[in-house]
Amino acid sequence: MISVLILTRNEGQDLPGCLDSVAWSDDIHVLDSGSTDRTTEIARQRGATVTTRRFDTFAAQRNAGMQLPFRHAWVLVLDADERATAELSAEMQPAVAVAPANVSGFRMRRRDFLWGTWLKHAQMTPY
């Protein structure tokens, strides 16, 4: 299995969709940066483990998140406005099950969308 780490701050609007996209995981953690909306309430209602940490830098926040007590050796890290597609989820599970011991991570290509439009030349877009 794969654990999930979601970084949040005032993501009450986006968090439900993100949580829905990783509902296949039995170990979901939300690392919140002091939200003032319903973010942490939503996360807890959906069964996520919530930890709060004051935000200083993105790298420090992500590194702190990786120190949480995950159930599984593999962790998928998302921001609340990101979604794991069904196809990605289906590929990840068998990949980590057969990954050699000397493999400590996977890199994935992604597609960025803005208001429903695919941004074809953003980040590491595959095309």
In the predicted structure, residue 37 carries a pLDDT above the cut 70: yes
Question: For residue 9, which of 58, 49, 47, 48 has the smallest C-alpha distance?
Answer: 58
Mean pLDDT of 106-123: 73
CATH value of 2-103 in 3.20.20.70, 3.90.170.10, 3.90.550.10, 1.10.3720.10: 3.90.550.10
Range list of β-strands (E), 1-127: 2-8, 28-32, 49-52, 74-79, 113-114, 117-118
User: Could you read off the pLDDT of 15-31 as tens digits, one per residue?
Assistant: 999 999 999 999 999 99
In the predicted structure, residue 5 carries a pLDDT above the cut 80: yes
Question: For residue 43, which of 78, 8, 82 has the smallest C-alpha distance?
Answer: 8
pTM of the model: 0.87
